[in-house]
Amino acid sequence: MEDSHFNVAFGYLAVLLGYFTLLQHLSKVIRDALPGGTLQSLIASIKEFIYHHEKVDALSENYEHSQTGMTEQLSRMLRKLCDTETKLALDH
């Protein structure tokens, strides 16, 4: 598999795991399974995925295929994930 295809697949998997982490009954389980027992690596992966989507949005803003809405939705999820990490860190 080409590196770019791998990176896209990895990004989508990180996003999916991020959404799962927002589910109360999974957040601590997922956090504990990640390196260092924190969500930082997951948050970093999702930030990178969003960054690439923002670049694509900037290049395609004049086209009907712009995914600005998706990028905004991912950013909202990331903020919730960061809040979850803060809460879990305080409880730990």
Question: Residue ranges per domain, the chain?
Answer: 3-91
Task: Please classify residue 80 by burial: count the beta carbons closer than 10 Å to its beta carbon, then call 0-12 exposed, 13-18 middle and 19+ buried.
Answer: middle
Which of the 8 DSSP states describes residue 1? -
Distance CA 15, CA 27 (A): 14
Model confidence at 68: pLDDT above 80: no
Give the type of residue at 70.
M
Measured in degrees and rounded to the nearest 5, phi and psi for residue 65 equal: -95, 15
Indicate the pTM of the whole model.
0.84
pLDDT average, residue stretch 61-65: 63
Model confidence at 62: pLDDT above 70: no
pLDDT average, residue stretch 37-64: 85
Q: In terms of residues, how long is the chain?
A: 92
Predicted confidence (pLDDT) per residue in 25-46, tens digit: 998 899 999 999 999 999 999 9
Model confidence at 5: pLDDT above 80: no
